[in-house]
A and B are shown apart, each in its own frame.
Chain A
Amino acid sequence: MKRIYNLILAAAVTSTLAACSSTPPRIEELEVARAVVPQVESSPRAGVAATNIAEARKSLDRANRLADSGGKVGDVEFEATVAARNAQIANEKILTAQAKEEIDKGQSERQAVLIEAREAESRRRAQQAQSAQQQAQMAEQRASSLEQELANLKAKKTDRGMVLTLGDVLFDTGLATLKPGAYSTIDRLATVLKEAQDRKVLIEGHTDSVGADDYNQQLSERRAAAVQTALLERGVSSSQITALGKGETFPVASNDNAGGRQQNRRVEMVFTDNASQVASDTQ
């Protein structure tokens, strides 16, 4: 055991001696410098640290020469360290330059993204505006088709709105049933009312003064309700329609003659001008 130990010791001593005498000893600092200096020299951004790189090269060359000519290890180490430090400084400067390039590029990219975003936003707005305009046009068209129909049906313009009168001839005498002759008018009104759902209609039944007031009141209510039912059957929303009977209290002509009385027996349909105005509010 002891002999083996001695042998190892001897080997160690020999190798130590050999290391000391071997001409170019391995100097850590020199290896580092030899690795890092060419690295910064070959960088595409070497220009930003030209002085440091030149210094690094000068010191590395000196260190190499000293090492080759068997100069003092301390001298080689010093020159190699100077070379390595200069190369490291150069490397940091290169990294800084690289980061600054990224910042510059990033800022213009950021600008481009902002511009693109704003353009997209204005495109979106333009589209919204266009579709709003289209909707407005369509609403106007719907409204105008109601106005057109009312004009075709010879509705009269009054301060309460457009008033269309369904005459006595469209009802069975003394009854609240519509004659088929009224159907085409009702059909046309239903069609335009369904298109213009923001428009409301007030249906008022009226009678002449012949007969009891109660009877006339009820008849006027039933006739108004008959028109309302006809519109509902054709799909008009109940929220658009108000129906009421006015009895004999609102004659439009004299009740003294047959012609006048016939004019007084009627159902009036009042269409509001204003979409937001409720027909019954105008009473």
Chain B
Amino acid sequence: MKTPNLRAGLPMLGMVAVGMLAGCSSVSDVTKERVARSESSVQQAQQTVGNSESGALELQRAKDNLATAQAALAKKEAQKAERYGQLAQLDAELAIAKSQSASARKAADEVLASIQTLRQEAARGVVANDQ
């Protein structure tokens, strides 16, 4: 148990050391990964939201934040890249959550409407051997 932990920890330690040595002039891999993760989250949100209205605003904000994060990364502004990357990530998640809740709401409304219709039909006695 101890050995694999040590093995996994060593490269991490190395990375941190490299990052520290690079200092302010460079951006750590952690930040780069952060921005890269945000990028894939934004892509995922793009697929989920598609052309629908729900989540479109948040998706746009995610894209804007991602662009800012990438620009900051290019300019080696580590903290800015990190923060905008995180905001892009959150906006992408929010876009997905909004899109999903809108579809769930729509489905729920449809079920409720179908029950309403069914009740009316039942009252008129037209529900014969459905199902």
Contact = CB atoms under 8 A, between A and B. Distances in A.
Most buried by A among B91, B94, B122, B125: B94
B122 A95 contact: no
B130 interface: yes
Contacts of A78: 83, 87
B90 A82 contact: yes
B131 interface: yes
A78 B80 CA distance: 10
Nearest to A121: B128
Given A85-B94, A106-B111, A118 B127 contact: yes
Contacts of B37: none
Given A81-B87, A117-B122, A121-B127, A92 B115 contact: no
B119 interface: yes
Contact of A85 (B87, B112, B121, B131): B87
Interface in A76-125: 78, 81-82, 85-86, 88-89, 92-93, 95-96, 99-100, 102-103, 106-107, 109-110, 113-114, 116-118, 120-121, 124
B118 interface: yes
A99 B104 CA distance: 6
B35 to A, nearest CB: 16
A92 B95 CA distance: 10
A89 B121 contact: no
Given A78-B83, A124-B125, A103 B108 contact: yes
A92 B127 contact: no
B112 A120 contact: no
A99 B112 CA distance: 11
Contacts of B94: 85, 88-89, 92
B122 A99 contact: no
Contacts of A102: 108, 111-112
B100 A110 contact: no
Interface in A185-203: none
Contacts of B125: 117, 120-121, 124
Interface in A180-232: none
Interface residues of B, number: 29
B111 A110 contact: yes
A93 B91 contact: no
Given A78-B83, A93-B97, A114 B111 contact: no
A116 B107 contact: no
B93 A89 contact: yes
B101 A113 contact: no
B31 interface: no
A26 to B, nearest CB: 21
B101 to A, nearest CB: 4
A120 B104 contact: no
Contacts of A106: 108, 111-112, 114-115
A109 B119 CA distance: 10
B93 A113 contact: no
A91 to B, nearest CB: 8
30 contacts: A78-B83, A81-B87, A82-B86, A82-B87, A85-B87, A85-B90, A86-B90, A89-B90, A89-B97, A92-B97, A92-B98, A92-B101, A96-B97, A96-B100, A96-B104, A99-B104, A99-B108, A100-B104, A100-B108, A102-B111, A102-B112, A103-B107, A106-B112, A110-B111, A110-B118, A113-B115, A114-B118, A117-B127, A117-B130, A121-B127
Q: Ordered nearest first, which 6 A-B pairs have the shortest CB separation?
A: A92-B97, A99-B104, A106-B111, A117-B122, A117-B127, A85-B90
Given A109-B115, A118-B127, A118-B129, 13 more contacts: A78-B83, A85-B93, A88-B94, A88-B97, A89-B93, A92-B94, A92-B101, A95-B104, A99-B108, A106-B108, A114-B118, A114-B122, A121-B125
